[in-house]
Amino acid sequence: MGSGPPTLWEWIARNWDTGRADSIRNLLLDHLVMSLTPVLFSLLAALPLGLACARWRRLYQPTSGLMNVIYALPSLPVFMLLISVTGLSQTTVIIPLTFYGMAVLIPAVVDGLASVPDHVRQAAVAMGFTPARRLLTVELPIAVPVVLSGLRVVAVSSISLVSVGALIGQGGLGGLFTRAYQNPFTPPVIVGIVLVVALALVADGVLVLAQRLLTPWVRARRPA
């Protein structure tokens, strides 16, 4: 009598690090790169754009409208359109996810700066703070909770959306889903879902911890 299909743990042990590009380990590393790189790039781009929109408010509506249009574009067709420019590479996934992240983070930066009380700004001006010093030491620290709330949304959505890239051969853990579809077998789906959810939870937890470290005054004023 032939042996039955491998159990979940047997399948994980056999496929964790096979030395091939489609091993669980390599797919996990690819997923991390393709999901976290857009988060970093979108933050770096959204900060100056958000500051500009907060400083010159007439820029905000057209910028927000353009970002909303980009955010509404389905990811898979965008990936397919970019193939002719960037090829079947991780860049094809990273570029759209960066713009999706900017669509969330630009309003978060603007709203965060708008949450700074006027009397705080006036106090900084009265103390002789230059505009740059006031921005770096007063306004941005107060805006951190709002910005990081947006960054949490971007991180979780980016980790999830990377899986769609598996349809063009660049989806990280999404490759486990296409493998299971081509050869119906449950363990790859279970492993893919668990790892994607675990990555999202870890990323969210790290950002929550970062917010607590960057805003100690918020905890200090909470009632015991």
215 or 209, which is more confident:
209
pLDDT tens digits for range 153-166: 999 999 999 988 88
pLDDT tens digits for range 91-118: 999 999 999 999 999 999 999 998 888 8
Do 165 and 92 form a contact (C-beta atoms < 8 A)? yes
pTM reported for the whole predicted model:
0.86
Report the C-alpha gap between 49 and 6 in whole angstroms.
52
Cα separations (Å) of 106 from 119, 161, 170, 222? Answer: 24, 20, 27, 29
Using a pLDDT cut of 70, give the percent of the chain over it.
95
pLDDT tens digits for range 168-190: 878 888 888 887 777 777 888 88
For each of the domains in the chain, give its residue range(s) and CATH number, in order of start: 8-214 (1.10.3720.10)
Q: How many CA atoms lie within 13 A of 216 on its CB side?
A: 1
Q: How confident is the model at residue 137 (pLDDT cuts 50, 70, 90)?
A: confident
Residue 177 CA to its chain's centroid (Å): 21
Q: How confident is the model at residue 79 (pLDDT cuts 50, 70, 90)?
A: confident
Query: Containing H/E element for 131?
Result: helix 131-134
- Local structure of 100: helix, strand or coil: helix
Report the C-alpha gap between 27 and 29 in whole angstroms.
5
Cα separations (Å) of 104 from 1, 46, 100, 151, 174? Answer: 57, 9, 7, 8, 24
The letter for the amino acid at 33 is: V
Report the C-alpha gap between 165 and 202 in whole angstroms.
21
